[in-house]
């Protein structure tokens, strides 16, 4: 796993994501979720590719229920792209790196 990926939770979501000066792609995931594991390598690569321009964050929905509920996470993986504290784009389900890259590019 890339050390460039932030792990955020209920306590630090606002400061790490909403107040970030860079766009943040947030992956809502869980340990038991197969599709979440499938997209993890793509997220690692994106964290490297976009270092300094955008950030990748992961929120474990089992440990951070308040944040998951706030953003109406009903199925995972669910990816939300935040820019300036606002949701810019949403993707539900496992998708390829190219699609995630397009989401980030639109926010840059």
Classify the C-alpha dihedral 93-95-101-103 as positive or negative. Answer: negative
Is residue 103 part of the annotated active site? The answer reads: no
Q: Which is catalytic among the residues 17, 24, 26, 36?
A: 36
Is residue 33 part of the annotated active site? The answer reads: yes
Plot region of 84 (φ>0 → left; ψ -120 to 50 → alpha; else → beta): left
Q: Which is catalytic among the residues 8, 17, 24, 33?
A: 33
| Catalytically active residues, by annotation | 33, 36
């Amino acid at each position: 796993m890339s050390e460039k990926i932030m792990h955020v939770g209920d306590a630090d979501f606002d400061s790490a994501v909403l107040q970030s000066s860079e766009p943040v792609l947030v992956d809502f995931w869980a340990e038991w979720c197969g599709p979440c594991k499938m997209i993890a390598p793509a997220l690692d690569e994106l964290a490297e590719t976009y270092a300094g321009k955008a950030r990748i964050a992961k929120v474990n929905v089992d440990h951070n229920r308040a944040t998951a509920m706030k953003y109406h996470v009903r199925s995972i993986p669910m990816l939300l792209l935040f820019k300036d504290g606002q949701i810019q784009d949403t993707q539900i389900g496992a998708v390829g790196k190219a699609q995630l890259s397009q989401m980030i590019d639109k926010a840059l």
